[in-house]
Chain A
Amino acid sequence: MVTANMNNNKLPIDIRQANSADSTAIVALDAEITGTDKSAYWADILNRFAGLPDRKHRYFLVATSADGDLAGFIVGEIRAWEFGSPPCGWVLALSVAPRHRQRGIGALLLEALCSRLKQAEVTTIRTMVLRSDKVNLSFFRGEGLAAGPYIELEKRLD
């Protein structure tokens, strides 16, 4: 159990591995933030990333408040040797419910993921964020991430 800060009041937050019972709350939180219901997508991610011992190098963590409300979640994995990159922790998703923001929950989730990645002897984390997504970009910058040696390139295929 860790504590999140709300108006200088410390509130208990539990960070644990996600499981299939979290599915509905995760889909609802994501839909609340993105405006799109992605039930099938999250079912697949939970199936591939959550809570089983053989999900080595894949992490799906949730933050819940004392009353069990889903405050946020983070998804990450270790990838290796993509275009020569040594093993590196990727943050694939990070969401904090609007009602739980400004309490440091995103930082707690990232810290929990980084701690697991360090245990797996990973020394770098990496993520990819939409250029116009100021909230997430500023958050990751504030947590010490900066432009790295790789550049994202893409091309429209239509």
Chain B
Amino acid sequence: MKLQKASRYALYAVLHLASEPDKQCSTAEIAEEYDISIHHLAKVMRTLVRCGLIESVRGVGGGYRFAGNVRRSTLWDVIHEFESLEPDINTPDNLSDTAEIVISGLDSVNSEIDGLIRATLDSITLKTLLRYGVENLGRLRNSTQGQDRSS
């Protein structure tokens, strides 16, 4: 399973808004921040509003605001509208016995991998992901400072 572009955009937008729940941001601001297509992001934002993860704020300085629950909403909740976990191996008609065995074996492995990916995405809440980000960035910065001091 490779994440669709829309899923990546949805994760950027929801996590960006969830990191500062009291703040609102426009589609243009988020698109600029992550260097992504504003038109594609606008479509994704409409889907996220429909899912109840974000809400639009009208008026001057309007935009979008986070509307989910950072402790409950998971990465899977954000992307499931944009993803399919159907097997992506096309099965032609009239397969030989050998081809059927090969494709059936690959389907089984694919399904195992998809199950693990789904479980992983569904176990990480937005709050946990944001914490991973803070910790990872801290480690990276510490290691860079350590390298700077030793050089």
Majority secondary structure of chain A interface residues (helix, strand, loop or mixed): helix
Instruction: For the complex, give the distance between the alpha carbons of A142 and B124 in Å.
Output: 8
Residue among A137, A140, A142, A147 making CB contact with B122, cutoff 8 Å: A137
Chain B interface size band reads 10 to 19
Of all chain A residues, which has the CB nearest B124? Answer: A141
B119 lies within 8 A of chain A by Cβ: yes
Flag if B122 contacts A141 (CB, 8 Å).
no
Contact residues of B: prevailing secondary structure = helix
- Which A residues lie within 8 Å of B124 (CB)? 138, 141
With A and B bound together, what is the CA distance between A132 and B123 in angstroms? 9
Interface pair B119/A142, CB less than 8 Å apart: no
B interface footprint on A51-88 (CB within 8 Å = 1, 0 otherwise):
00000000000000000000000000000000000000
Closest to A132 in B: B119
Chain B positions 66 through 79: 1 when the CB is less than 8 Å from some CB of chain A, otherwise 0? 00000100100000
Min CB distance A104 to B, Å, is 12
15 further contact pairs, Cβ within 8 A, besides A141-B125, A142-B71: A131-B116, A131-B119, A132-B119, A134-B74, A134-B123, A137-B122, A137-B123, A138-B124, A138-B125, A138-B128, A141-B123, A141-B128, A142-B127, A142-B128, A147-B120
